[in-house]
Amino acid sequence: MKTLAFALAAVLASASLAHAAEASAQDKTFVNTVGPGGMYEVMLGKLAETKGSSPDIRDQGNTEAHDHALVGDRLAAAAKEAGIVVPDKLTPEFQAQYDKAATLSGAAFDSKYLSEMKKVHAGDGAAFLKEAKEGSSPALKSFAADTFKIVRRHVGELDANTSLK
């Protein structure tokens, strides 16, 4: 019985190592970039739901928070398959920008929100496209290609909201 348990543990350990071997430096950079970015988009979206001065901003914030929460779950699953741990906190830069946005209200908040979301989506779009083309983990490449479409849709929504201002 001990031999069977040891053999099973060895098989599981080697399978885990095989997944970890899939992760390239590109894959790790991707996860460490878009993980905190996605958390920031969720947090800022939730803030916009309450602080946005127009229904368009509040609705867009709701969309961001909802979509990026789902994307975060999918990222975690794909990263786990590649043997990469997703960061669980914002970068200092994202935290500082969030803290600044939280102090604003009215048109100043709306402007900061749109500016921040456009900036993070531009970076995300480039990161997702690069991972889809150059990543080594099949799970992360597939996730990046699928999610790039969501990022493009969000950019269009942000552009539409900006043109309303």
Q: What would the pLDDT profile of 125-158 be if each residue is shown by its tens digit?
A: 889 899 999 999 999 999 999 998 887 887 777 7
Output 121 or 49, whichever has higher pLDDT: 49
Nearest of 48, 92, 97, 96 to residue 68 by alpha carbon: 48
Q: Is the pLDDT of residue 11 over 70?
A: no
Cβ neighbours around 63 below 10 Å, total:
16
The ranges assigned to domains in the chain are 2-164
Output 113 or 123, whichever has higher pLDDT: 113
Q: Does domain 2-164 have CATH number 1.20.1260.10?
A: yes
| Model-wide pTM > 0.85 | no
At 18 the pLDDT is: 46
Measure the CA–CA gap between 111 and 67, rounded to whole angstroms.
21
Nearest of 30, 37, 33 to residue 116 by alpha carbon: 37
pLDDT per position as a tens digit, 70-85: 999 999 999 999 999 9
Q: Is the pLDDT of residue 98 over 70?
A: yes
Q: Is the pLDDT of residue 165 over 90?
A: no
